[in-house]
Amino acid sequence: MKQRTLLVTGCSRGIGLAITRRLLAEGHRVVGISRLTPGIESARFTHMELDLSDLDKLPDALRDVSKQHPDINAVILNAGIGRFGGLEQFSAHQIRQLIDLNLTSHILLAREFLPKLKKNGSGDLVFIGSESALRGGRYGSIYAATKFGLRGLVQALQEECPASGVRVGIVNPGMVNTSFFDELGFRPGDEADQHLLPDDVVAAVLLMLEARPGAVIQEINLQPQKNVIRFD
């Protein structure tokens, strides 16, 4: 894959941080978006501090990012949060917060960068989804709703974009051993075959990005060999 300039959201930890580090190691330029500053020192990395859940300010902020970095030719849409429980346990604010960050911000990101990619005649949008985009689970109603919505967005864009040369894909991982679970009260099992690693997701993303021109890997579903949930 020739040197590219890629935008990565949620770059400060977990999957987003792993993707960012791997892209830099491969010689690419990365523009990273997150609320927290990642511990990355590279001349090819630019960090933009931005709260993607602030939808009132987001369109203008994304327009500024696009203007400052007109050479972006791939976007990795990774940012998101998890919150689980019975539907009646969620406040209206919590429901709005999950939908705003996990779904609406991705739509606004795609809306901002897709026209430029289409104009250039090539580019990639790679969304990080979830196993919850494939099957709803107990206590995951709102989270699953956002991920099902994200997968629907991807499928619709896949129908819209072929003539433009823009490729759209989604990676749906099962439980990945990251800080995502630090405040959730549960996490995947400790054994190597009971969880995914961020690098597993990175490998899937690179497979999409490195596909030859004219070929599209539309969806990759990843699971640990054994699904084990450990409660704290």
pLDDT at 34: 96
Q: Is the pLDDT of residue 134 over 90?
A: yes
Angle at 142 between CA 35 and CA 218, to 5 degrees: 75
pLDDT at 175: 93
Domain assignment of residue 37, yes or no: yes
Is 174 within 8 Å of 135 (Cβ atoms)?
no
pLDDT-based confidence at 208, cuts 50/70/90?
very high
Average pLDDT in the 128-134 region?
96
Backbone dihedral region of 91: left (phi > 0), alpha (psi from -120 to 50 degrees) or beta?
beta
Domain assignment of residue 188, yes or no: no
Q: Is the pLDDT of residue 55 over 80?
A: yes
pLDDT at 183: 81
Tens of pLDDT, residues 110-121 = 999 999 999 999
205 CB burial (10 A radius; 0-12, 13-18, 19+): buried
Average pLDDT in the 160-165 region?
95
CATH code of the domain containing 117: 3.40.50.720
Domain assignment of residue 137, yes or no: yes
Number of domains present in the structure of the chain = 1
pLDDT at 180: 87
Q: Is the pLDDT of residue 74 over 90?
A: yes
Domain that holds residue 124: 5-165
Q: How many CB atoms lie within 10 A of CB 135?
A: 9
Q: Is the pLDDT of residue 185 over 90?
A: no
pTM to 2 decimal places: 0.95
Q: Is the pLDDT of residue 135 over 80?
A: yes
Whole-number Å distance between alpha carbons of 132 and 124: 23
Whole-number Å distance between alpha carbons of 6 and 24: 10
Q: Is the pLDDT of residue 77 over 90?
A: yes
Domain assignment of residue 67, yes or no: yes
Domain assignment of residue 219, yes or no: no
Domain assignment of residue 19, yes or no: yes
Structure tokens at 186: 């549960």
Domain assignment of residue 36, yes or no: yes
Average pLDDT in the 101-106 region?
98
Q: Is the pLDDT of residue 1 over 80?
A: no
Q: Is the pLDDT of residue 186 over 90?
A: no
Q: Is the pLDDT of residue 203 over 80?
A: yes
pLDDT at 220: 98
